[in-house]
């Protein structure tokens, strides 16, 4: 037996989607999302989505990268095999800086992308909305709101009524 | 509609002020809608391979074979097939390396710096410009890798890869050449990551379109790389943040890469290299040459695929103006080098510059001055910027000029250093010329594959800048 994943409603314009999101947010839903072909300015606020946590990963990556650069150079040139080059000190943060700087950037990039994938739970090649036939337009020119059936406030009739009242079109249920 | 606006009390006078409305140039002309953008960009990938593409691809592959043959000859015979000889032991290999790395810089500038500066016109050109960056780095990497000669030692563990350790001692981390390895490999890696992250939503669009038309094989391939992207706002929220951070770190990265490349020269003691102006001068030159190449690529692309509505005259104006600005900076750097050579009162430095302009390599110097200082000055005129054929021709001159800049800097300084007994004159061998010529084929080969199989413009970003994308309609906060 197919399990109901949730209810999807379509919107034709960004202002319509924006106001509908505000209404769904104010109705107290938590397990829902808006599907849009491009990021819409201010939609996080309309949906009540908190600021992204990606920067925490970036900061951790950046600090790791900088420390890796500094300690690698100290370890190699001053500890493991001290070598006099041009009568200069075995280690100085000055000459170690350019490489540490590049490694800061390299590690930040990987941490940022890794963090983004982790928070977005990507890669996820199977998802109920991906096989819904109307979905092709969510990547093109139409905007959708999906309210999941496992939301504590979900009620097939009431949720449908809310989406209708918010101006949603082509309201349909999608299977798990 | 006011729920999102700030609650700050506005000064009373604001009600009476009637600010002049300055219309912004449309970034997508003819009021194109979301669907038109999707059809236009996806249509290029989904349509039949055009005949011109096959002709160009064949030509590119033929030109690229010059590089392949040149490298095979080099590896089988020895690095002596290049024209290097004392005192000019750094010649076309490093000239070509710096040239191609410099080309790449405009891509990162467009995708990162202009993103931070909220220059919305970057949206329609950033994808091809980033592709250009990656392919330029590939071309650049050929030269340092192959100039070692016995390349099989490079891939043998412990000799060059993952680090050169043939003498059992660690690298000298004080050397700018070592910094350069880290800078360029970081640059290549981050450019690929940035490009790929930008591609994910568009690959998702292609996946869904191929799924809906029943082309399962292509849907699977694009779907694999789209990672299951579904354009949900909770995903976009993290995605936007990640993109912003990548732009934020790619900005200091792009500025540092050519700075460190310039350190390869500036940290040495050779007259004409040992100058503090090199880092900013190299960065400005890199952006200048990169924009020259971006325009060289964009203008034919725009004409062939009829992209005038998304690469508008405004885009071309902006790119020409950046070329003008950076070209003028480069011209300033040339004159400042001369001034400092005189003002510094170092006879070797003074001689190096007089020799550049009037010595044996004067022909190269004046080609450089003509192409890099005089050519961009035409972009002051609106009529020139609106003549795309002329813009394209001028950009070819910019590309030529920037190659000669690296040649002048590297070869003239080495050919005439401190002792007249070690002076010489360098000419490239035919193998060097062919190898370099072929890299344009390698570059075009990769770029043609890119425009055939990937969305050449970021659809989601272009959709973002058309008026219909604004969720607040007319009453903007």
Note whether A47 contacts B: Cβ–Cβ < 8 A: yes
* Whether pLDDT at B16 is above 80: no
d(CA B447, CA B427): 31
In a domain, B283, yes or no: yes
Q: What is the number of other CB atoms lying within 10 angstroms of the CB of residue A91?
A: 18
Contact list in B for residue A14 (CB cut-off 8 A) is: 468-471
What pLDDT score was predicted for residue B340? 92
Q: At which residue do the structure tokens 């200069």 appear?
A: A88
Residue of B nearest to A106 (CA): B186
What pLDDT score was predicted for residue B59? 97
- Using DSSP's 3-state secondary structure scheme, residue A8 falls into strand
B236: domain CATH number is: 1.20.1630.10
Q: Which tops the pLDDT comparison, A18 or B168?
A: A18
* Whether pLDDT at B3 is above 70: no
Q: At which residue do the structure tokens 């990640």 appear?
A: B242
d(CA A170, CA A7): 10
In a domain, B251, yes or no: yes
Residues B318-334 have a mean pLDDT of 94
In a domain, B6, yes or no: no
Q: At which residue do the structure tokens 């691809």 appear?
A: B57
Average pLDDT, chain B: 88
pLDDT digit string, tens, across residues A66-124? 999 999 999 998 998 888 888 889 999 999 999 999 999 999 999 999 999 999 988 88
**Assembly ipTM:** 0.93
Cα–Cα–Cα angle for B156, B93, B299, nearest 5°? 115
In a domain, B16, yes or no: no
- Decide if B182 and A98 are in contact by the 8 Å CB cutoff: yes
Closest CA to B230 of A137, A65, A156, A148: A137
Domain span including residue B316: 29-467
What pLDDT score was predicted for residue B434? 94
Domains contained in chain B, number: 1
d(CA B119, CA A121): 31
* Whether pLDDT at B13 is above 80: no
- Decide if A83 and B169 are in contact by the 8 Å CB cutoff: yes
Three-class DSSP labels, B121-150: HHHHCHHHHHHHHHHHHHHHHHHHHHCCCC
d(CA A11, CA A9): 7
What pLDDT score was predicted for residue A1? 53
- Decide if A36 and B246 are in contact by the 8 Å CB cutoff: no
Determine the distance in angstroms separating the CA of B13 from the nearest CA of chain A, rounded to an integer: 28
Copy the structure tokens of residue B3.
């729920």
pLDDT digit string, tens, across residues B359-409? 999 999 999 999 999 999 999 999 999 999 999 999 999 999 999 999 999
Q: Which candidate from B223, B234, B239 shows the least CB-CB separation from A49?
A: B234
Average pLDDT, chain A: 89
Q: Which tops the pLDDT comparison, A133 or A35?
A: A35
- Decide if B204 and A139 are in contact by the 8 Å CB cutoff: yes
Residue of B nearest to A104 (CA): B249
Q: What is the number of other CB atoms lying within 10 angstroms of the CB of residue B310?
A: 25
Mutate to test the interface with A, among B41, B245, B461 (most CBs of A within 10 A): B245
What pLDDT score was predicted for residue B1? 39
B221 in Cβ contact with A22 (< 8 Å)? no
* Whether pLDDT at B355 is above 50: yes
Contact list in A for residue B471 (CB cut-off 8 A) is: 14-15, 17-18, 40-43, 46
In a domain, B10, yes or no: no
pLDDT classification of B2: cutoffs 50, 70, 90: very low
What pLDDT score was predicted for residue A44? 87
Note whether A125 contacts B: Cβ–Cβ < 8 A: yes
- Using DSSP's 3-state secondary structure scheme, residue B155 falls into helix
CATH class, range A4-50+127-175: alpha beta
What pLDDT score was predicted for residue B155? 74
Residue of B nearest to A62 (CA): B249
What pLDDT score was predicted for residue B54? 95
Q: Which candidate from B174, B190, B472 shows the least CB-CB separation from A105?
A: B190
* Whether pLDDT at B166 is above 80: no
User: CA B53 → CA B193, B301, B476, distances in Å?
Assistant: 27, 11, 44
Note whether A18 contacts B: Cβ–Cβ < 8 A: yes
Q: At which residue do the structure tokens 């340092």 appear?
A: B144
pLDDT classification of B12: cutoffs 50, 70, 90: confident
pLDDT classification of B20: cutoffs 50, 70, 90: confident
B194 in Cβ contact with B246 (< 8 Å)? yes
Copy the structure tokens of residue B98.
């710096």
Q: Which tops the pLDDT comparison, B340 or B469?
A: B340
d(CA B200, CA B206): 10
pLDDT digit string, tens, across residues B64-117? 999 999 999 999 998 889 888 888 888 888 899 999 988 888 788 888 888 888
- Decide if A124 and B472 are in contact by the 8 Å CB cutoff: no
Note whether A138 contacts B: Cβ–Cβ < 8 A: yes
In a domain, B9, yes or no: no
Q: How many CB pairs under 8 A join A and B?
A: 222
Residues A151-158 have a mean pLDDT of 86
List for chain A the helix, strand, coil content (%; round to 5): 55, 15, 35
Q: What is the number of other CB atoms lying within 10 angstroms of the CB of residue A52?
A: 23
pLDDT digit string, tens, across residues A33-58? 999 999 988 888 888 888 999 999 99
Residue of B nearest to A111 (CA): B242
- Decide if B174 and A99 are in contact by the 8 Å CB cutoff: no
In a domain, B4, yes or no: no
What pLDDT score was predicted for residue B79? 86
d(CA B103, CA B131): 11
Locate the domains of chain A by residue range: 4-50+127-175, 54-119
Q: At which residue do the structure tokens 């500890």 appear?
A: A79
């Amino acid at each position: 037996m197919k399990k109901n994943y949730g209810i999807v409603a379509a919107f034709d314009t960004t202002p319509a989607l924006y106001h509908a999101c505000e209404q769904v947010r104010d109705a107290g839903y938590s397990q829902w999302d808006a599907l849009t072909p491009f990021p819409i300015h201010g939609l996080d606020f309309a949906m009540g989505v908190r600021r992204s946590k990606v920067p925490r990963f970036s900061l951790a990556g950046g600090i790791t990268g900088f420390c890796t650069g500094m300690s690698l150079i100290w370890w190699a040139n001053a500890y493991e095999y001290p070598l006099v080059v041009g009568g200069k000190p075995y280690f100085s943060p000055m000459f170690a800086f350019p490489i540490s700087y590049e490694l800061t950037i390299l590690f930040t990039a990987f941490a940022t992308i890794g963090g983004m994938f982790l928070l977005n739970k990507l890669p996820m090649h199977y998802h109920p909305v991906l096989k819904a036939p109307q979905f092709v337009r969510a990547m093109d020119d139409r905007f959708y709101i999906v309210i999941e059936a496992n939301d504590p406030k979900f009620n097939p009739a009431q949720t449908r009524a809310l989406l209708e009242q918010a101006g949603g079109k082509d309201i349909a249920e999608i299977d798990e | 509609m006011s729920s999102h606006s700030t609650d700050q009390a506005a000064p009373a006078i604001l009600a009476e002020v009637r600010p002049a409305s300055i219309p912004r140039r449309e970034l997508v002309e003819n009021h194109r809608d979301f669907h038109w953008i999707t059809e236009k960009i996806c249509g290029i990938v989904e349509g039949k391979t055009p005949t011109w593409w096959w002709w160009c691809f064949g030509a590119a592959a033929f030109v690229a074979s010059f590089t392949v043959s040149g490298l095979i000859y080099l590896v089988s015979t020895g690095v002596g097939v290049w024209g290097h000889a004392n005192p000019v032991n750094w010649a076309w290999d490093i000239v070509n390396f710096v040239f191609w790395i410099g080309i790449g810089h405009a891509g990162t500038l467009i995708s990162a710096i202009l993103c931070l500066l909220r220059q919305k016109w970057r949206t329609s050109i950033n994808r091809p410009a980033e592709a250009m960056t990656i392919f330029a780095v590939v071309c650049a990497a050929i030269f340092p890798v192959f100039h070692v000669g016995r390349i099989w030692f490079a891939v043998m563990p412990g000799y060059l890869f993952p680090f050169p350790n043939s003498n059992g001692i660690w690298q000298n981390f004080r050397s700018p050449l070592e910094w350069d390895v880290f800078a360029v490999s970081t640059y290549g890696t981050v450019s690929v990551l940035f490009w790929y992250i930008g591609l994910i939503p568009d690959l998702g669009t292609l996946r869904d379109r191929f799924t809906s038309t029943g082309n399962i094989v292509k849907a699977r391939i694009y779907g694999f790389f789209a990672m299951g992207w579904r354009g949900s706002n909770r995903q976009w929220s993290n995605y936007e943040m990640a993109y912003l951070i990548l732009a934020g770190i790619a900005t200091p990265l792009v500025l540092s890469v050519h700075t460190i490349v310039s350190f390869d020269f500036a940290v040495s003691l050779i007259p004409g290299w040992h100058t503090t102006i090199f880092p900013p001068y190299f960065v400005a030159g890199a952006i200048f040459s990169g924009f020259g190449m971006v325009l060289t690529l964009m203008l034919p692309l725009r004409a062939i695929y009829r992209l005038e509505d998304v690469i508008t005259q405004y885009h071309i104006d902006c790119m020409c103006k950046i070329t003008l600005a950076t070209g003028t900076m480069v011209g300033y750097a040339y004159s400042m080098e001369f001034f400092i050579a005189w003002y510094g009162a170092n006879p070797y430095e003074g001689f190096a510059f007089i020799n550049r302009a009037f010595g044996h390599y004067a022909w190269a110097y004046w080609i450089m001055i003509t192409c890099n200082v005089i050519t961009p000055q035409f972009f002051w005129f609106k009529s020139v910027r609106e003549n795309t054929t002329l813009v394209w021709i001028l950009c070819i001159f910019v590309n030529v000029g920037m190659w000669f800049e690296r040649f002048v800097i590297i070869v003239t300084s080495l050919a005439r250093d401190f002792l007249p007994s070690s002076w010489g004159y360098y000419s490239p061998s035919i193998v060097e010329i062919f190898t370099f010529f072929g890299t344009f084929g390698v570059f075009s080969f990769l770029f043609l594959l890119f425009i055939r199989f990937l969305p050449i413009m970021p659809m989601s970003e272009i959709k973002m800048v058309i008026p219909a994308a604004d969720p607040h309609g007319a009453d903007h906060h």
